[in-house]
Structure 1
């Protein structure tokens, strides 16, 4: 029980240093328009972070969970800078890897590289692709 409380306290300290995101910031992160982000977030009933702002802001940890990031990586403060990077489209990732976007989408479909499905769009965490040299 004591170990679990220690982990919760460490996660709470870590969360204080992370910024909450507005829907517009989430749209930039996901490279989607704001209407699509609203359609994704509305049925999930994510609780907004309390604060002095006029529009709802959401905890970045909740957004990472939506993106499929495992809790162990969310808890690792050394990965936070990489996790804060915007997601890449297939075209952007293909340009960085030096291949065709169709190839990137095929790799994602085959499970060779991790991907995130957002309302029919596919996005990629570049840090996850960089970390796994066997993925591509």
Structure 2
């Protein structure tokens, strides 16, 4: 088995990337994360791996920025802690998380409550990141 298939998933699940967030990043099911928490974890992993295509595709079109910027040189993602996943309506959910990183010798924490919406914008209903509130 290749090293890429055995690499631990950045989301912190303890599973190999290919059997965790990697399955949402690639192939015909790449946009089919089954719930908001799975989508949020896969988006964190996409940030770690600079998968800007996946981030764009899973961002709701009404709030998606024009351009996404790759990670700056030297940025290290250190970990993800999911604090809460809450369904707020049949097709809406929130995920509170803390993502830690380090750049230029300085540690950073991103503590956010993100909003997700399940919508059939391209035929098949799927989850999209809408926006978030920093805490």
TM-score by length of 1: 0.30
More helix by share: 1
Which protein is bigger by CA-based radius of gyration?
Answer: 1
